[in-house]
Amino acid sequence: MELCRIGIVGCTGRMGRMLLAETLATKGALLAGGVDRLTPGETCDLGELAGGKTLGILAGDDARTLFDSVDVVIDFTVPAASVEHAKLAAETGKGLVIGTTGLDAEQTRAVESAAQRAAILWAPNMSLGVNLLLGLVEQVARSLGDDWDIEIVEMHHRHKIDAPSGTALGLGRAAAMGRGVVLDDVSVRSRDGYTGPRKEGTIGFATLRGGDVVGDHTVVFAGEAERIELTHKATDRRIFARGALRAALWTKGRVAGLYGIKDVLGL
């Protein structure tokens, strides 16, 4: 079997190091390079960054060179960087897996545009469990009427920089799709002070931050005298790295387009 040459952007960060280790441990994957912002004179061996032995492959700082030398790039960075990497994928025709969250509307359009010329897989959450949850939320929302209130509660570690989480927004979109509405038209992101009664048909979000929580998400369907709660809790960040590697192997050789984990899983 021909190996899939994989590059990691943001390779010196916490998630980047985990992706390096997972790439080295994944059958069919070949760690071909990694890039990050490095200080002048800094050298980082990718094997050591992954917590293992020296590989003789040093981290670089030129993303274009990385794209030229691999089949698929995995990107868990920040929105602005992910947009630039999507453009590089379009220019080079290489695959790109994006796990970055917090992209705004303009950045989202830029990724969608790049996907017209490259295979880009973008998912707010790479775990199997969350993607099954997305399908369940859409199904339940479709089955229940507007008299059932929908609230999405998420909690992450204190270092997370975007809110609500990309997964929470994905769950909101799934619920909105089930109801046949657009999330931006019905979402309520914050409540403070004298807000008055809850408006029927809205989808609310509550964001919690603290400690080292990897990721907890609950979708609450609240009706009269009963409540349905669908919950997913991640206890190890490695599930996201494993999902990203599975996505990268799937993305290699695909025609241009914007894909998601549901495509990988055949859901």
- Spatial distance between the Cα atoms of 61 and 10, rounded to a whole number of angstroms: 10
Enter the DSSP assignment of 10: S
Q: Which single residue is written with the structure tokens 């916490």?
A: 14
Determine contact, residues 165/219, Cβ cutoff 8 Å: no
- Spatial distance between the Cα atoms of 47 and 57, rounded to a whole number of angstroms: 7
Q: Which residue numbers are catalytic?
A: 156, 160
- Spatial distance between the Cα atoms of 114 and 166, rounded to a whole number of angstroms: 20
Q: Which amino acid makes up residue 76?
A: F
Decide: helix, strand or coil at residue 241: helix
Q: How far apart are the first and last CA of the chain?
A: 26
